[in-house]
Amino acid sequence: MSSETSCGIDVNSLTSLLSKTSVEEETNNGETPETELSFAGRGLKLNKAEDAKEIVEAIEKFPKMETLRLEGNTVGREAAEEIGKALNKHPEFKKALWSDMFTGRSNAEIPPSLKVLSSGIMTAGAQLVELNLSDNAFGAIGVEGIKDLLSSKCCYSLRELRLNNNGLGITGGKLLAKTLLACHKSSSAAGTPLQLNTFISGRNRLENDGAKALAEAFKAIGTLQRVEMPQNGIQYPGVSALADALAANTQMRILNLNDNTFTEVGSKAIAKALPQLKNLEEINFGDCLMRDEGAEAFAKSLKSNTSLKRVVLTGNEISVIGANAIVTSMDNKKNLEFIDLNENQIGEEGIELIRGIMDAMNKLDALGSLSDDEGDDDEEDDEEDDDDYDYNDDEEEEVEEEEEEEDDEEEEEHISLTQPKNVNGDGGTVDSPVKECKTPSKKISASEFLTFPSPSKLLGLGGSNTAAEGIKDELGDKVSDVDEVVKTFLKISSVVDSKNEKTQKIAKTCTDTIFSELLQSKDEPTECLLSNSLLVHMGLIKCEDKHYKPPGDLTGALIVLEHCVQQAYFHGLAKEILSTFISKPSSNWDKCIEARHAFLQTVNKF
């Protein structure tokens, strides 16, 4: 008899095909049944065996219980034993969500309760995926209650371990680390190595020794994607050990070490590890005492990361210097959603700079509130310093006038007078003297020029290339000092105007030489530091030196900068920063309206 039906279908083949398929159980409504049984937040006081009757019956009747939620209740030894027995019948069990489950219980009572609950899971042969025992203040002794479970076959499949706010201490941290190492070793031997991806253990007083022990376990596991260990009293030795271990967990996405103590040493250790974590999306290093040195190291290490979404660095005693490095390192973070630098020491002018940089990068919306900034030291001492500082402004002005007179006398030796025609009251013409620079009869040194800059002295430096080499040589090692280079640039550009092409040419060549030398490493943060220093010394944002006086006329600086922003050494972000601040209304532009307009037109083209 043929196995084909009248429709030509092979019944045997169809039967074989159907035997290989599985059908999900459905409720009466045709929906997939729930796999979670929850008694969360009921406030149940489960002391004796009979107190657990409702939970036990529900567990026994539940057809496919993958998750059991018991948080927000309090479970005693006898009740825990009954619940453990009920768990024997559920090999499909995966998630034990048991936070805040032992309120009011003594330390002596908790470990036995954990042991009988663990026994039920192990007897069933379940494969746990998540274990959450957070907010149970059981201390180190609590780890004794779960160490058998954690090192058993049931936890070879564990992905998430949450032990937050348990008061583990150093002893508990060490025992936990030892247990995880044992699980990793035995699971690897069985061909199914532990692949833990989430470890949360905040507020546990782990300190350096506990952190070092856990770091050893993390390094062996190597699959962590989320680590949260805030408020553990960990200092730089423990932070350094964790940094080394975290570098081995290259799939890390979320890292929270808030309220530990990095200092410069720990910060640099973390910074060294961060380039290995290409997938890192969230960082919380708030209240870690990073200070500027740590912030700058951190910023530099983040340059290669493009996946960051959230960065929290609150309360780190970071000044505008460190904050500047941090925000400029965010330029290539296309997914950035939030950066928090509140409660640092940036200061009002620094905050203006930070906002300007974020605005230039089109990321201002991602910048968190800076309303609780603690201000910089200069701001706190401004009033006192102004009262105490014995400084005679009149005497300073007299000295400046004398210097200007000396410059004028020297310059007059090298000028000629032309006779442009001006109309007089009778309709005739009169001669009006205009200074025109001539090359001095003797060669001028770079030192002489920089001491008292003048147009004729700039010409006296020789040709453009000769002048540039002379300026660079005079700077010497200071050519790598951003502020010194900017001060030199302002001296060079101070003698430039819109009419003398010779001085413009030499000034531009000199500036190209010292700027490109400074930026030869093509380090983006360094270039941003250059633009920020320019803003400071041009008087567009506050200078730390309260007695520094910026140039009164920025015409020459803008003429030369218009040239600089078109050069290869001047990258995009620095241009954006300058453009943002120079486009803002200010009395600084009263004397250089045309030069400012030309600069903004040019910079917006590139």
Interatomic CA distance for residues 603 and 606, integer angstroms: 6
DSSP track, 427-493:
S-EEE---EEE---SSPPPHHHHHHS--HHHHHHT-SHHHHHHHHHHHHGGGGG-HHHHHHHHHHHH
Q: Are strands 429-431 and 421-423 parallel, antiparallel or unpaired?
A: antiparallel
So what's the pLDDT on residue 14?
Answer: 40
146 in any annotated domain = no
pLDDT along the chain (606 residues), means of 10: 44 41 38 82 96 97 96 96 96 97 89 96 98 95 96 98 97 98 98 97 98 98 98 97 97 98 96 96 98 93 92 96 90 95 92 90 95 75 46 44 47 38 39 46 86 93 93 93 93 93 95 91 68 88 76 93 91 83 86 93 84
521 in any annotated domain = yes
Q: Which residues, 6 or more positions from 550, have their beta carbon under 8 angstroms from its beta carbon?
A: 537, 538, 539, 543, 588
Interatomic CA distance for residues 394 and 576, integer angstroms: 39
177 in any annotated domain = no
Interatomic CA distance for residues 422 and 16, integer angstroms: 109
In this structure, are residues 312 and 340 in contact, taking their beta carbons and an 8 Å threshold?
yes
Please, which residues bridge with residue 338 across strands?
310
Query: 353-359: long-range contacts (C-beta < 8 A, 24 or more apart)?
Result: 353/320, 353/324, 353/532, 353/535, 353/541, 354/320, 354/323, 354/324, 354/327, 356/541, 356/577, 356/580, 356/581, 357/324, 357/327, 357/328, 357/528, 357/532, 357/577, 357/580, 358/327, 358/330, 359/580
494 in any annotated domain = yes
So what's the pLDDT on residue 421?
Answer: 40
State the CATH number of the domain containing residue 575. 1.25.40.200
So what's the pLDDT on residue 522?
Answer: 56
φ/ψ of 276, rounded to 5, equals -80, -15
Counting every residue, how long is the chain? 606
Taking each helix axis as running N to C, give the angle between helix 524-537 and helix 482-493, from 0 to 180 degrees, rounded to the nearest 10.
50
φ/ψ of 46, rounded to 5, equals -100, 95
287 in any annotated domain = no
560 in any annotated domain = yes
Specify the 3-state DSSP secondary structure of 283. Answer: strand
So what's the pLDDT on residue 580?
Answer: 86
Specify the 3-state DSSP secondary structure of 260. Answer: coil
b or e along 563-582 (b: 16 or more beta carbons within 10 Å of the residue's beta carbon)? bbbeeebbbebbbbbbbbbb
Range of 567's domain? 437-603
549 in any annotated domain = yes
Q: Which residues, 6 or more positions from 404, have their beta carbon under 8 angstroms from its beta carbon?
A: none
Is the sign of the CA dihedral 597, 598, 600, 601 positive or negative? positive
Taking each helix axis as running N to C, give the angle between helix 110-124 and helix 139-150, from 0 to 180 degrees, rounded to the nearest 10.
10
Interatomic CA distance for residues 72 and 457, integer angstroms: 82
Count of structural domains within the chain: 1
- Token digits of residue 374: 């603690």
**CA dist list (Å): 292 to 243, 274, 484, 532, 599:** 19, 18, 20, 16, 33
So what's the pLDDT on residue 388?
Answer: 45
DSSP structural state of residue 320: H
- Token digits of residue 169: 């201490």
553 in any annotated domain = yes
So what's the pLDDT on residue 376?
Answer: 73
